[in-house]
């Protein structure tokens, strides 16, 4: 059974199939047509225009040996254009100093198309945490139970907001997207994003979160777990007394000069899919990403989060890189780190990434003053070749324009 507006849903789209080829390209651009969503209003302020300064970037060569073959066989891409053409791209954009250098869309997607962000959503939630922290409504060093006592019944007892922000709680939660029994997939069943195969599973996001158990000490190694962001969303709602669509609109989306409203998938009681359910258009992603370059200010000049929050994001904690290196997962980013719901793929702090499965990305290059984004519909959730080829393309562009 699907919700939304099933009259507009093509034959073959179901809760079983929408995240799989060949349906994923359509589904990621039409979430509200078959799943319940809530609007994240852009407010009534003017749109921040992004002037176009067309720059030929598709022929730029990648650094030798950087990008692997996109499909695991055949020749590796050698130019930016080849990367974009071989990585199931729906749209990509590059800006510098708030000006569009390149922007392309594929297979019917257009600038106003709203697209599922998957885990790029996590970075938006992280920015809301930063905004609340800046307004002294939330202390990241406090335990999550200080805001959500119900989590005391779960494995999150004793975990801090900081532990969740940096994905360093000790919660048992598998992120194996190809395992239908992994917690990340059971969460989708609980909120109505997938068919129910476990009859006694809770039927809301929050009821599912309180069932999670602890496997190791909180504050240990980094381990990527989507549930951490869902706990952060719950903490934000409890600390502010507002539901996330209204809260994110007030603190973030209405302050960036967004082109259009965003939206978030919701469960049966209206709780957001915080870890991967936000939908937005491509240009609004670079408007959001610009906050990281502008010390917490948007392109409108509005303050979103304190400069200290952005500085902390770039600097990381004293042991952030050690915790990342100790991760049990294969992140393929030696010397990198994860802080405040964003990735740093290199030993330096110059490049920041917001990442989502199936190929969603915001790329921020501090030195080059470049903010880029790519929306995709990879057939499989994860593809290291596609991911690192895309990073290499944006790195090559940043080198060229700086």
pLDDT tens for residues 131-165? 999 999 999 999 999 999 999 999 999 999 999 99
* 286: pLDDT strictly greater than 60: yes
CA-to-CA separations, 171 to 10, 166, 214, 228, 360, in angstroms, rounded: 39, 13, 4, 9, 26
**CA 222, 228, 233, 234 torsion-angle sign:** negative
Query: Closest Cα to residue 38, out of 288, 248, 234?
Result: 248
- Is 4 domain-assigned? no
Name the average pLDDT for the chain.
Answer: 95
Side-chain-side CA neighbours of 23 within 13 Å: the count stands at 16
- Is 212 domain-assigned? yes
- Is 372 domain-assigned? yes
Please pick, among 17, 114, 119, 174, the residue that the annotation labels catalytic.
119
What is the span of the domain harbouring residue 387? Answer: 36-401
Query: Closest Cα to residue 280, out of 238, 332, 318, 245?
Result: 245
Query: Are the beta carbons of 309 and 295 closer than 8 angstroms?
Result: no
Strand segments, DSSP code E, in 29-181 are 37-40, 89-96, 99-105, 115-116
- Is 363 domain-assigned? yes
CA-to-CA separations, 257 to 113, 117, 140, 262, 305, in angstroms, rounded: 17, 19, 28, 12, 15
Query: Closest Cα to residue 105, out of 25, 195, 186?
Result: 25
What the block records as the tokens of 155 is 């494995």
The whole-number pLDDT of residue 68 equals 53
User: Exposed/middle/buried for 332, CB within 10 Å: 0-12, 13-18, 19+?
Assistant: exposed
- Is 8 domain-assigned? no
Tally of structural domains, the chain: 1
The whole-number pLDDT of residue 4 equals 59
CATH label of the domain that carries residue 354: 3.40.710.10
**Cβ within 8 Å of residue 219, ≥6 positions away:** 160, 163, 168, 169, 170
Mean pLDDT computed over 264-276: 98
Mean pLDDT computed over 209-222: 98
- Is 146 domain-assigned? yes
The whole-number pLDDT of residue 1 equals 45
User: Exposed/middle/buried for 184, CB within 10 Å: 0-12, 13-18, 19+?
Assistant: buried
Q: How confident is the model at residue 3 (pLDDT cuts 50, 70, 90)?
A: low
Residue whose token pair is 């709680």: 169
Active site residue 348: no
pLDDT tens for residues 237-261? 999 999 999 999 999 999 999 999 9
Q: How confident is the model at residue 282 (pLDDT cuts 50, 70, 90)?
A: very high
The whole-number pLDDT of residue 5 equals 61
Could you tell me what percent of the chain has a pLDDT over 70?
96
Query: Closest Cα to residue 341, out of 199, 184, 250, 224?
Result: 224
* C-alpha to C-alpha distance for 334 and 362, rounded to whole angstroms: 20
Residue whose token pair is 């944006």: 394
The whole-number pLDDT of residue 115 equals 98
- Is 99 domain-assigned? yes
Q: How confident is the model at residue 73 (pLDDT cuts 50, 70, 90)?
A: very low
Count CB neighbours of 75 within 10 A. Answer: 9
């Amino acid at each position: 059974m699907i919700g939304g507006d099933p009259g507009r849903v093509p034959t073959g789209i179901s809760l079983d199939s929408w995240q799989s080829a060949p349906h994923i390209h359509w589904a990621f651009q039409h979430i509200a047509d078959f799943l319940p969503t809530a609007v994240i209003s852009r407010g009534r302020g003017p749109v921040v225009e992004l002037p176009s300064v067309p720059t030929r970037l598709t022929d730029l060569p990648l650094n030798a040996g950087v990008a692997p073959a996109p499909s695991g066989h055949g020749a590796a891409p050698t130019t930016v254009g080849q990367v974009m053409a071989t990585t199931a791209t729906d749209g990509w954009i590059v800006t510098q100093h708030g000006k569009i250098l390149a922007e392309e869309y594929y297979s019917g997607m257009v600038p106003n198309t709203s697209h599922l962000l998957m885990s790029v959503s996590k970075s938006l939630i992280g920015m809301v945490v930063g905004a609340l922290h800046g307004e002294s409504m939330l202390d990241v060093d406090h335990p999550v139970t200080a805001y959500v006592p119900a989590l005391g019944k779960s494995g999150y007892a004793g975990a801090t907001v900081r532990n969740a922000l940096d994905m360093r709680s000790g919660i048992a939660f598998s992120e194996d997207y190809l395992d239908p029994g992994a917690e990340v997939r059971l969460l989708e069943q609980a909120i109505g994003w997938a068919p129910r195969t476990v009859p006694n599973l809770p039927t809301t996001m929050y009821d599912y979160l309180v069932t999670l158990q602890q496997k190791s000490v909180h504050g240990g190694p980094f381990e990527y777990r989507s549930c951490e962001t869902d706990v952060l969303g719950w903490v934000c709602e409890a600390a502010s007394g507002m539901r996330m669509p209204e809260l994110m609109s007030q603190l973030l989306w209405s302050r960036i000069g967004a082109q259009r409203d965003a939206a978030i998938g919701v469960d049966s009681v209206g709780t957001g899919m915080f870890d991967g359910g936000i939908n937005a258009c491509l240009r609004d992603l670079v408007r959001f990403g610009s906050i990281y370059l502008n010390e917490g200010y948007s392109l409108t000049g509005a303050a979103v989060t304190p400069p200290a929050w952005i500085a902390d994001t770039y600097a990381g904690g004293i042991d952030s890189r050690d915790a990342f290196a100790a991760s049990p997962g294969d992140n393929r980013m030696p010397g990198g780190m994860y802080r405040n719901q964003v990735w740093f793929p290199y030993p330096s702090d110059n490049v920041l990434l917001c990442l989502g499965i199936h190929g969603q990305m915001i790329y921020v290059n501090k030195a080059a003053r470049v903010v880029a984004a790519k929306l995709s519909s990879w057939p499989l959730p994860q593809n290291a070749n596609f991911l690192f080829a895309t990073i290499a393309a944006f790195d090559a562009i940043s080198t060229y324009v700086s």
